[in-house]
Amino acid sequence: MPVSEKMTRVEGENKGDITLYTLSTCGWCKKTKGLLDGLHAGYSYVNVDQLEDSERKEALDTIKEWNPQCTFPTMVIKGNILKKPPKYERMVVWHTKEVVQDAEI
């Protein structure tokens, strides 16, 4: 099954297409989810450590395209980021409340 079908959707305000790659035991991953929840942002996430072998490999390959260091959490925001055209895509490795709020997503 493709990783996209393993994503969990958290409903909230449309702040852009936000995808979060996490580990189930990662404190920073939980803080990032809490940040998005606090901002009432809709997002999709997957706990990479809970995927089957082929799915985990697919997720890690995808993460490495955005974040070669493959650190967690990895948040990918696609769409209108920082007043760029819709085709612009940006990967956010380190997160702060200001990144999401100021991104105009």
**Domain total for the chain?**
1
Return d(Cα 69, Cα 34) in angstroms, integer: 23
Are 36 and 18 contacting, i.e. CB atoms less than 8 angstroms apart? Answer: yes
Return d(Cα 45, Cα 93) in angstroms, integer: 15
Amino acid at 52: E
Mean pLDDT of the residues in the chain: 79
- Residue 84 — very low, low, confident or very high, per pLDDT cuts 50/70/90? very low
Are 7 and 45 contacting, i.e. CB atoms less than 8 angstroms apart? Answer: yes
Asked, as a colleague might, if the bond just before 73 is cis with ω within 30 of 0, I would say yes
- C-alpha distances (whole Å) from 88 to each of 4, 39, 79, 81 are 21, 22, 6, 7
pLDDT at 100: 54
pLDDT at 51: 97
CATH of the domain at 91: 3.40.30.10
- Identify which has the larger pLDDT, 96 or 24: 24
- Identify which has the larger pLDDT, 25 or 104: 25
In what helix (H) or strand (E) does residue 47 lie, and over which residues does it extend? strand 43-47
Q: Which domain holds residue 21?
A: 3-102
- Residue 67 — very low, low, confident or very high, per pLDDT cuts 50/70/90? confident
Give the model confidence (pLDDT) of 38-62 as tens digits. Answer: 989 999 999 999 999 999 999 999 8
Give the model confidence (pLDDT) of 86-97 as tens digits. Answer: 444 444 444 444
